[in-house]
Structure formats: structure tokens, C-alpha cells
Amino acid sequence: MFKNKTVTVGISGGIAAYKSAEIVSWLKKNNAEVRVIMTEGACRFITPLTMKTLSGQPVAVDLMSMDPAYNVPHIDLAACDLFLLLPATANILAKAAMGLADDLLSASLLATKAQVIAAPAMHCDMYDNPATQGNLQILAGRGWTLIETEEGVLACGAIGKGRLAGIPKIMQVIEATLNPDKPLAGRRVLITAGPTWEAMDPVRYLGNRSSGKTGYCLAGAARDLGAVVDLVSGPVALDPPPGVNLHRVESALEMARVVTVLYPACNIVIAAAAVADYRPRQAAKEKIKKSSASLNLYLEPNPDILAGLGQNKGERILIGFAAETENLLEEARKKLREKNLDYIVANDVSQPGAGFAGDTNIATIISAQGEEKQFPLMSKKALAMEIWQYVIHNSQFTIHN
């Protein structure tokens, strides 16, 4: 994932220093060339031997080092694709904000032209101090990416803001920075696609005209943008895009079960499936015999899968589709609200070239903030990329503070 990328990891002296080991190991496993700088304080929390073993490179501590691995240590170490400061103590942030260069880490930070990502970690009172907040503002103004601290129990037992951000979040920010053409890198996307079939008997079902093309195009586009993709698909005659995790289902109840299992791990959901709203109350065990009498079929409602997800949304982004034949935008806005969505893609399936089965669509995306963008007639593949670009742009994935 990070082939040919050089990352300098600066570790400053705080208890969260031990957490940098996991990130260094992960960077290395993903083929980055990792060079570690430790402050004297950091060396008291975690040993240079640990970091040398994980990074596979000598660890630099001394500004005046005569280590033959470096010509001029702080200049050599400043030259990288990404400079990661993890953890960033109040002290190193203050030095960087002031432009001090009295040790190897601060001198390298002053010399670097690379993007700096800093993950602050400190006691809540130090974090809240206007001096620290002012320094963070200065550094953000210089283009540093600051990964906001988390609130919780700190090492000393105090409760407040100042804990190092979660490791998965730090990984996401690194991935997005090193692979800017992959804005969904580090994200897990769950997509539903196709129709559901609701069994009447062993050979018949109630279904709809969805081909799955829309959901499959969205899955392929999400993969191209760097996401890990779970595609939960009703019965369709399509090959899944290579590299996505395909979960085949038949009925709405099966789709609901699989989606419920996958939901906790995902960051974004797009529900493009045309889920049957009703199912036969009971599927006959044997094939229903033909007769001249009319046949009554008792239907009961299926669960609304997307509405269920909306009730437990957390930090996730939820995107629904609305297939309508009248009052397109009003109906779509109603569904956006009722299902607690962030976006809804409205398609008027009565228009030629739009909706079910064909290779093209005409759609309007509506955000929870009430913004709308129309997409004229285009291929479902092009529409999928347009939808992702809109969502990525409006959701500001790479802003973390």
C-alpha cells in the first residue's frame, strides 16, 4: 500500500509513545520505508531497540550524531513523503510552533517540507491550556494535519480530552495522506444491491425489476477509490467487481441479517437495493397447484433495513436511494428524514433512460443539509463515480480536527 513512500516517525516523550510501535509496524508491513526519530524523553517510555526492530532501520536520537547512516541527520530525516509526529507532546508542539531546533526531532520538523501529521497526546489541562491551543492553531495554519485527541480516562486517572486518537483513526489519516487519489482508503463501505425475492412456494417468488447494476457500479467505484467493500447482493446475473467481498442473499430477511452482521465494522452504507416491502406470510412447502379459482396471497411487511441502520447511525454516513414514479423530490426528502440518512439519491424510474435494469440513469442527490445536485442522463458507471465524488467532497473525509 505504501510502496516507495518514505515516512519519518517522530516520537516525543509521553506515555502514548508505546502506541507508536503499532503504527511503525503497520507502516513497515505495508511496505513504507520507515525512519524513526526519538526524543530523549521518548527513549524512557519505549526503547530504541523496539523501534529499530520494528522499522528495520537505525533509530535516530542525537542531533549531533556521527552515525554513518546519515550525512546530516536532521536534513536527511526531514526528507520524506510524510512526517508523522506520534505522540505529539505539548512540548514538541510548542517548539514546532516557535520554530525551535534544539534537538533532532524539532530540528527535523523545522527542516521538513513534507506533510506533517501530528497526533497530540497529553494531560487534559495541558491540552486545554490556551498556550497549547494557540500552538495547535499556528501549526494547523501552516498546513499540519492534527488528529484530534479523544476524551476519556488519562494515564494519571484524570478524565478529559488529551488521549491519543484511536489507532484505526490514525491509520485512516495516514492512508488518505499517502494515497490522495484513494480518498476512501481506510474506509469500509457496505453496499446493498439488486432485488430481493420473496418466496411464494419452492418455484415462485415476488420480486422486482432491479438488475443490481447500480449497486455493483457503486461497489466497483468504491473499490477504485480505496475502500474495502462489502457488497450484499440480491439475486442478479452480474459478475461482482473483482476485489469486493460479495455476500449473496435472496430475501429481504436474509439481506437484513447479513447487513446487521456487517454494519458495526463499516463507515459508509449505500443502500441501492430494491428491497421488497412485503413478503408472503408463509411460503408454501410444495408448489401451489394451478386451479381456476382466484388465489389470495397474504403479505406481511418486511423490516425496513435502512431505517433500522439509521436508528443506530453513530459516526457512519448513510446513503439511500429513492425509486419514485411521482413527486420525486418530496418523496425522497421524506425518506431522507424518516430514515435518518445523510444523503439520498432520487431516481424517477418512470423516465426513459432512468431507473431499473438499463445501463443509464438520471438522478438527483439530496443531502441532509438540503443541498441538491442533479445528474443528467449518464451511464450507471459514471453516475456511481459522480455520487462518490459528491459524497466525498461534502463529507470532508480528510478533515480530522
Task: Tell me which residues are annotated as active site.
Answer: 156
Task: Based on the shown chain and the rule CB under 6 A, indicate whether residue 388 belongs to the binding site for ligand PMT.
Answer: no
**Options 18, 304, 386, 395; binder of ligand PMT; rule CB under 6 A:** 304
Helix H or strand E encompassing 84: strand 82-88
Q: What are phi and psi of 268, to 5 degrees?
A: -140, 140
Number of amino acids touching ligand PMT (CB under 6 A): 29
* Distance between CA atoms of residues 396 and 241, nearest Å: 26
Nearer to ligand PMT, 114 or 249 (CB): 249
Task: Based on the shown chain and the rule CB under 6 A, indicate whether residue 299 belongs to the binding site for ligand PMT.
Answer: no
Task: Based on the shown chain and the rule CB under 6 A, indicate whether residue 35 belongs to the binding site for ligand PMT.
Answer: no
Q: Which cell goes with 385?
A: 463515480
Give the binding range for ligand PMT (CB under 6 A) out of 22-30, 77-85, 238-246, 268-276: 268-276
**Options 73, 162, 186, 212; binder of ligand PMT; rule CB under 6 A:** 212
Task: Based on the shown chain and the rule CB under 6 A, indicate whether residue 263 belongs to the binding site for ligand PMT.
Answer: no
CB 127 within 8 A of CB 120: yes
b/e 79-94 (16+ beta carbons within 10 angstroms → b): ebbbbbbbbbbbbbbb
Task: Based on the shown chain and the rule CB under 6 A, indicate whether residue 213 belongs to the binding site for ligand PMT.
Answer: yes
Q: To the nearest whole angstrom, how small is the minimum distance from the Cβ of residue 338 to ligand PMT?
A: 10
CB 235 within 8 A of CB 250: yes
**In the chain, what is the straight-line distance between the N-terminal and C-terminal CA atoms, in Å?**
25
* Distance between CA atoms of residues 397 and 19, nearest Å: 24
Site string for ligand PMT, 141-180 (x = CB under 6 A): ----------------------------------------
Q: Which cell goes with 159?
A: 478524565
| Residues 309-368 contacting ligand PMT, CB under 6 A | 320-323, 335, 347, 349, 355-357
Which of 241, 385, 376, 393 is CA-nearest to residue 317?
393
Binding stretches for ligand PMT (CB under 6 A): 192, 194, 210-214, 252, 271-275, 277, 302, 304-306, 320-323, 335, 347, 349, 355-357, 380
